Structure 1
Amino acid sequence: MWEAGFVARATLIILSIMSIGSWYIIVTKIIDQQKIFKQQKETAAKFWKASSIAAGTATLTEGSPFRFIAESGTKATAHHDGALLEQIDLSTWVTMSIQRAVDKVQSRLSDGLSFLATVGSTAPFIGLFGTVWGIYGALTNIGMTGNASIDKVAGPVGEALIMTAFGLLVAVPAVLGYNWLLRRNKTAMEDVRSFSADVHSVLISGAMSTSNAAASSKKVG
């Protein structure tokens, strides 16, 4: 196949890079998702048993998306000050901050999926291009030599068809991996959104209690 010319070699190299990239993304995403599922169990076991959001956050693994969301909500509650921010009510401000954190987690989980989708949709056509080019080269050689015997035709054409098979071999795992990872991402994000909603409720209820207590003390004073 390496004797088929520059175009055939380039096609083979491109498909090989696509295959390596696809498998790398699939494996790394599976590892990332497994970490999130493990961290979700850790959150359920430790976070909600803590005395406060801050104490619960300290029990979570550094770099965990659940810790990131809890820290974002806590910071939003503590830093709701300034002339511009005070124009936004606390609940809306905390909601916006937590939603930004959730969006960042989702964006990180989705990294690489577009590459898998691209490989799944283009690899068969790249392989087909290699096949067409290989057949064209074989027919050109036959025309130049004038020898159209079956052994002269079958060999080059058979090698050219390997490109189509290789393109499909690259595309199928990418498509299956994309769909599977997408479903697992959906499950992971359901856990993340559920956690963020609970954190939001706790933060807002705590902030409102503090605000009411402060208002009552002012009236008494």
Structure 2
Amino acid sequence: MLFRRRFGFSPPEKATAEGIVGIGGPLDVPTLQCAYRQGIFPWPHTGLPLLWFNPDPRAVLDFDDLHIPERLARRRKKLPLHFTVDTAFATIIASCRTAPRPGQEGTWITPKMVAAFLALHEVGDAHSVEAWDTEGNLVAGLYGVTAGGVFSGESMFHTVSDASKLCVLFLVEYLKERGATWIDIQTMTPHFEMLGAKEISRDDYLARLAAAQAAPLVLFDKEPKPPIER
């Protein structure tokens, strides 16, 4: 409640039809930490103040529902990729920023967003997965934020077909080993729908988030520092 009062976030039930719960405010580590722990994420729109969202419905991927299409399973066996975690976060977010997006002009990953998430990575709350080929070239990756035991995916890129999907499969196995059972993907995409993601109500999502935060899991080797107080 303190965070909402200081930074102007609305309670989820008072969100707009688009899921907007805040406009403007600082894009810094304390704000991001507190936002993600409430299921809120920033989504810049050109020509508007910074918008903060808590959408309804919310898209999630339950690991028990993971579907690996036959073609992707074959690619998984044939592509000689090596996966790492948190070894090239800055490069991953920069590559996501410049990745082509058919039908879209520009990107929501603005320079200010890059700087903010780099800072969030430094305190252990933002993480990346990298895929490398046999020659040591970075060919795909993704990044996201931990919100007290839940991973919230942000963006991904690839230069080799299907490599970003294989990053997701690696992430699922990585998080399963650490006790996680699902990831937050915020809004549905064809990519994740193909993998078995589904939409749930915002109330269900917030209940899941609270339950995960009540059973703290260490999802990454670099443990996050406590949220910074304002």
Larger RCO (CA under 8 A, 6+ residues apart): 1
State whether TM-score is above 0.5.
no
When Rg is computed on C-alpha atoms for both structures, the one with the higher figure is 1
Q: Higher strand share goes to which structure?
A: 2
TM-score by length of 2: 0.23
TM-score by length of 1: 0.23
